[in-house]
Amino acid sequence: MKPENRAIIKTLAFYDALGHTPLTALELYRRLLRPEVGAAVPVSFGSFFKKLSDIKSEYISASRGFYFLKENVGGYRKRVQIGKTGIAKWRIARRMIRLISFLPFVRMVGITGSLALHMTNKESDIDVLIVTKHGHIWAARIFVSFFMQIFGYRRHGSCVRDRICLNHYVSDSSLILRPQTLFSAHICATFLPVWSKYGVSERFLNQNNKRVASYFYHERYSPTDFRSVKEDIPLFFLAIRCFFEFVVFRISGRFLEFLCRKVQAQRIRRNMESMGVAPGAVIFDDEALVFHHPRPASQEAMVLYEQHLGRLGFKQN
């Protein structure tokens, strides 16, 4: 099979594994996986579109402008029905992100997961990725979790629908996503930055584009293409930010960050033990906090992706 055809099929298999996500021709072209890591097979949109017509009868199906694996009819029907749900979720997400942007040590907030893929449903939560000031990732997490909890936005227990899932933090001194896998490259390729300060979103995208390019034919979109929230801060929250960033943490920042780290790390370890989460499945250090309980979403997706590839007679990247 030609590399271009293999790339198309592997891309549809990967997004099917992420949530049975059918793609339009343009989405498929922009998110096209390389047949092998680093493989250079240039393809124009015109020739790409022709390839779709050539291979869809054997491996993939198409309907109403969406392309998907033949067995993924349910995913296609789901996507056709979710337009209004996605619009409502975006309104909620922007309110949440605007509030997070007021908090101390937060430098960027953006959308990942099903909302970024336009595949959310009424019961979905809202996944975000938060970049924090270097040396204050643990304190930032406490501020964000506390305010999201008291405003009723934080996902916890059975409270999932329209709640914010605070499962990914990175420091602005270490913006390259970990672990360095196809799944992390996918997060960056589909990530939608909504609020950013000090040019962090541009640095984040630039530093991760090399990873994206090793797996995908095309670099991700410009951050100017995305929805954004205003950068003005109400006086109350501005006072809180200034007080903690420029007064409290200037005086005793290292000790307070150490205390925040100690308390949270102990709790994370206890939760991992009680839930049977394998060591290494969760990242928690001074540069990144990545949580996907009870099993990392990346592992679930990659297992299903490997199954798809095996059924189709391909090897994983």
pLDDT confidence of residue 223: 47
pLDDT confidence of residue 133: 93
User: CA 143 to CA 136: how far, in whole Å?
Assistant: 11
CB atoms within 10 A of CB 93: 27
List, in sequence order, every residue forming a beta bridge with 23; answer none if it has no partner.
67
pLDDT confidence of residue 221: 52
pLDDT confidence of residue 303: 77
Task: Say how many Å lie between the first and final Cα of the chain, rounded.
Answer: 16
The verdict on pTM exceeding 0.75 is: yes
What letter does residue 247 receive in the DSSP assignment? I
Domains of the chain: 3-81 (1.10.10.10), 84-295 (no CATH)
pLDDT confidence of residue 224: 47
List, in sequence order, every residue forming a beta bridge with 170; answer none if it has no partner.
131, 288
pLDDT confidence of residue 263: 95
The enclosing H or E element of 111 equals strand 106-112
- Could you give the angle at the alpha carbon of 102 between the alpha carbons of 96 and 106, nearest 5°? 90
CB atoms within 10 A of CB 222: 9
pLDDT confidence of residue 232: 61
Q: What is the mean pLDDT, run by run of 10 residues, along the chain of 317 residues?
A: 80 84 86 74 74 73 84 71 76 91 92 85 90 94 94 89 93 91 87 89 89 79 52 71 76 84 93 79 91 58 78 67
pLDDT confidence of residue 56: 64
